[in-house]
Every structure is written in C-alpha cells, then in structure tokens.
Amino acid sequence: MLDLVAAAGDFAFGPGNSFPTVDQDYLLQARQMQAMSFAMHVPLVCFGIAFPSLVIFMEWLGLRTGKAHFTAIARRWSKVMITLFAAGVVTGTLLSFELGMLWPGFMSAFGDVFGLAFGLEGFSFFVEAIFISIYVYSWDRISPKKHILTGIPVIATGITGSMMVIAVNAWMNDPAGFSVDQAGQVIDVKPFEALFGNGHLWPQLTHMYLAAYIVVGFLIAGIYAFAWLKGRRGAYLRTAMVVPLAVACLAAPAQLLIGDWAARTVARDQPIKLAAFEGLYETTEGAPETILGWYTDDNKIEYGIQIPKLLSFLAYHDPDATVQGLQSVPEDDWPPINVVRMSFQTMVGIGTGLVVLAAWFLWIWFRRRRLPETKWFYRAVIVAGPAAVVALIAGWVTTEVGRQPWVVYGVMRTEQAVTGADGVVFGFAALFAVYVVLVATVFWVLRRIARQPLPPEIAALEGGGAGEETTGGTG
C-alpha cells in the first residue's frame, strides 16, 4: 500500500497538502456546467422512473377489460417512453464523463468510496435498456401476457438504478465509511457502509421518487388537458388524462410529509444548510419561519413574513427547539444564502400549490363522482406540469448549492475537486449546442408521435379532431 500513497500524491487533498488553487471564476463556470447538465438529465429521468409503471398499468387495464383504448394509449406512450429514455441515456452518459472531466479531484480521492453504487447503477440501467427495447419492439410479437411481463424489469431497474445514484448523493451529504490519514489520503474505505448505511438515502430517494411521479403525472395530464379544453371528451382522451392525474394528485400531498422528513434529516446532519434554507443568522430557541423576503449583507431578512416558532417545529417537531444559526461557523463555510433560500421557498411554494390543486380534484371526485367542470381546473393542470419541473430543479439546487462550499460535506471543498485543465467549459459550451439539437429533435419526434392517427375504431369514438391528437410534446 505504501507505493500507492506515493503515487497518488498528486491527488491528495487533506491537511499538509498543497493543492493548486483554482481560479474562482473558473470554478464557478464548472459549477454552472454541472448544474445545467443535471437540470437536463433529471426531468428526463423522471420519465424513466415514473412512466414505465403508467404505461404498464394502461396495458394491464387493456388486458383486463379487453377495451381497445387502454391498449392504444399504452402503445402510444411506449413510443414516447423509449424516445425520452434515449435522451435520458445520453444526458446521463454526459454526466458520467463530466464527473471525470470537471471534478477529477473528487473522483480520484473518493471514486472508490462510492464507485460501487455506480457499478450497480450501471447494471440497473443496462437491464432497463434491454427490457425497454424488448417491451417497445415486441408488441404483437409475443403473447400479451408475456409482453406485460417484460415491462416489470423496466420498473424495477428504474428504481434500483436511481436509488444507487441517490445513494452517492446522500453520501456526499452525510459522508461516512472512510477516514482520511495524515497525508490527506482516503483510507479504510467501507463502501457498503458509506452508501447504504446512510441516513439521507431513504428520505432523498422517496422524495425524488414522488417528485418523479408528480412531474410526469402533471405533465402528461396537462397535455391531454389541452385537448379537453378544446371540448374533446372521448374515453381515450379522458383515460389518458385522468390516470396520470390520479397519480400526481395523490403523490403531491404525500410529498409534503416526505419533504418534512427530508428537512428533519437536514436539520440533524447539516445544520448550516438548514440555516441557509431559512436565512437564520443567530442560533435561536423557538426559531420563527420567515416566508419570502431577501437575506441582506447585514444578516437580516428584509420584507419577509414571520411565523413564530414554526421553524423549530418543522425542523425538530418541537416549537421550542434550538436551531443553529449561520453565525456559528465562519462565513467562508456558508453556502450562497439567497440562492439556497429562494430555491427552497420555490420548491415548497410550488409543492403547496400542487397540494391545493390535488385537493380540489379529489374533493370533487369523492363528493360528486365527476371531474371538475370549470375550465380553470384544466388550465391549472396545464400549468402544474412545468411548475412541478421547476420545483424539481429548485429542490436539487437547494440540496446541491446548500451543500456548498463542500462537495463532500465537511470533508472536501469543491475547489479541491475541480479539474486543473482550463478551457473545459468551452468544450461544454459546444456540447450544449448539440444538446439543443437533441432537445429540439425529441420535441419534434414527440409531436410526430402525437400526430399519428389513432386506430380507426377508437378515432370513431373520440370525435373532434379527426382522430388526431392535437397535443404538443412532453418532456
């Protein structure tokens, strides 16, 4: 092992090691690149997580009832699914490359700690890619019962794959399972403990899962809500709208509870991150929650609305609990307060709005056994999809920027992780040009899929737009 230490000297980051200082602007650019690529990948993978089970549910309804419109929906959705999957795969590939290109310090120091999870993730997505192909290309080629079975691994591997990635992120938030020696080398690595013995894994995973169902549910429902507003009321359209809506409307209230759990976990392990969520400067007993407003240089929140003791209650379920303030650590160790605070409030605000929308829908359904009649409900559903995507990204910004200045919380600072090669960002700029082409193509293809005529027997029942779905793209 001795020679290992000698050879790895260039990458050691701990005390007693002179790590090259990196130009701050340059670090900032690297961060923005990272943020942009995640922001591309994550909405797409929501479809990888949540869409397969919706498609398979539809197919199951078709098998069970023998009614053609269910099967027709499942078929059409499965084409959308594989298109978005393709985009998810390549954006994910970019992320893997990016980890090495932007953060070689991080990868070299800790690749062995969390690599195992990515290994399992790789296998999961492998199997997912295989079965998604089989599922989509074997309609009519194998018996319907077998066909629906080939969808099950797609659901399962979507879960395991993203669980592994989240395990890495949870570990970055709550690092354990290794130690750092005098020379700044990472030693005693216990990968299983690091990844799966981690208190952040389950709240983050559950929260991300529900987020995926909320995003996909509202986006898909919103697309059909357009046609609904134009007066089309056939069984095909109605089914394609209400099933995703049902999923999203139950997931949204559930998200409140899981979000509370996530916040408690942050309060326990990352007190400074929590203080940044709330812009709390002084350590306070019975801390108030401040809504809206702006955190100023003299460490106050201007124009905020205070609700006494709410923060202590939310963070510790005790209105008199003491909440640690930013003041307790040097300013160097603070994340950018306003970015974190605004994104946190955006997420919670949108989350609350979605719960109201869900309650509206559920209330009418359970009281009257019908769908809401006012056009405003459907307009709100159309807005809810993009809003959920905003909440999703805002949530990740909260988590990731809130972790700053650490890449591995309390262990490795982000400036120690970044690459020493300059110019990388220019490469990424080129890459994003290609990304734009990808996104445009995906939209165009989805429109084409949506325009394909429905099977004639269903089109006859639908009326309206001559058997054509007048929808835009998803995603």
Partner 1 sequence: MELADIPAILILAGIIAYAVLAGADFGAPIWAVTARGKESARLEQAGHRSMAPVWEANHVWLIFVLVICWTAYPEIFGSIFSTLWIPLILACIGIIMRAVGYVAGGVSVSRGIIWLAAGASLLVPFALGTVIGALVAGNVPPGNAAGNVITSWLAPVPITVGVLFIATSAYLAAVYLAADARRRREDELAEAFGQRALGAGILTGLLALAGLVVLYFDAKPFFDAMVSTNGKDNEVGRICVLVSAIAGTGTLLLISTRRYGGARFVAAVAVAAIVVGWGLAQQPEILPGLTIHQAAASDEVIIGLLIAVVIGLLVLIPSLYLLYGLVLGGRFDPLAVPEAGPGEAGRDLEPANRLRMALVVAVALAGGLMLFTSDSGATLYLGLALFMGGLVGGVLLLAGSLVRTD
Residue range at the interface with ligand HDD (CB under 6 A); choices 95-103, 122-130, 209-217, 290-298: 209-217
Q: Is 411 in the site for ligand HEM (CB under 6 A)?
A: no
Task: Give 176 or 438: the residue with its C-beta nearer to partner 1.
Answer: 438
Q: Is 263 in the site for ligand HDD (CB under 6 A)?
A: yes
Task: Give the interface size with ligand HDD as a residue count (CB under 6 A).
Answer: 29
Please pick, from the candidates 34, 37, 157, 204, the single residue that binds ligand HDD as defined by CB under 6 A. Answer: 204
Q: Which of residues 283-322 bind partner 1 (CB under 8 A)?
A: 317
Q: Which of residues 273-302 bind ligand HEM (CB under 6 A)?
A: none
Q: Which of residues 171-210 bind ligand HEM (CB under 6 A)?
A: 208
Please pick, from the candidates 10, 15, 20, 93, the single residue that binds ligand HEM as defined by CB under 6 A. Answer: 93
Q: Reduce the secondary structure of the chain to three states and give it as a string.
A: CHHHHHHHHHHCCCCCCCCCCCCHHHHHHHHHHHHHHHHHHHHHHHHHHHHHHHHHHHHHHHHHHCCHHHHHHHHHHHHHHHHHHHHHHHHHHHHHHHHHHHCHHHHHHHHHHHHHHHHHHHHHHHHHHHHHHHHHHCCCCCCHHHHHHHHHHHHHHHHHHHHHHHHHHHHHHCCCCCEECCCCCEECCCHHHHHHCCCCHHHHHHHHHHHHHHHHHHHHHHHHHHHHHCCCCCHHHHHHHHHHHHHHHHHHHHHHHHHHHHHHHHHHHCHHHHHHHHCCCCCEECCCEEECCEECCCCCEECCEEECCHHHHHHHCCCCCEECCHHHCCHHHCCCHHHHHHHHHHHHHHHHHHHHHHHHHHHHHHHHCCCCCCHHHHHHHHHHHHHHHHHHHHHHHHHHHHHCCEEECCCEEHHHHCCCCCCHHHHHHHHHHHHHHHHHHHHHHHHHHHHCCCCHHHHHHHCCCCCCCCCCCCC
Q: Which of residues 416-435 bind partner 1 (CB under 8 A)?
A: 419-421, 423-424, 427-428, 430-431, 434-435
Q: Which of residues 132-161 bind ligand HEM (CB under 6 A)?
A: 158, 161
Task: Give 169 or 284: the residue with its C-beta nearer to ligand HEM.
Answer: 169
Least separation in angstroms between residue 425's CB and ligand HEM is 13
Q: Is 39 in the site for partner 1 (CB under 8 A)?
A: no
Please pick, from the candidates 5, 35, 371, 445, the single residue that binds ligand HEM as defined by CB under 6 A. Answer: 35
Residues that bind ligand HDD (CB under 6 A): 173, 200, 204, 207-208, 211, 214-215, 255-256, 259-260, 262-263, 266, 347-348, 350-352, 354, 388, 391-392, 395-396, 398-399, 402
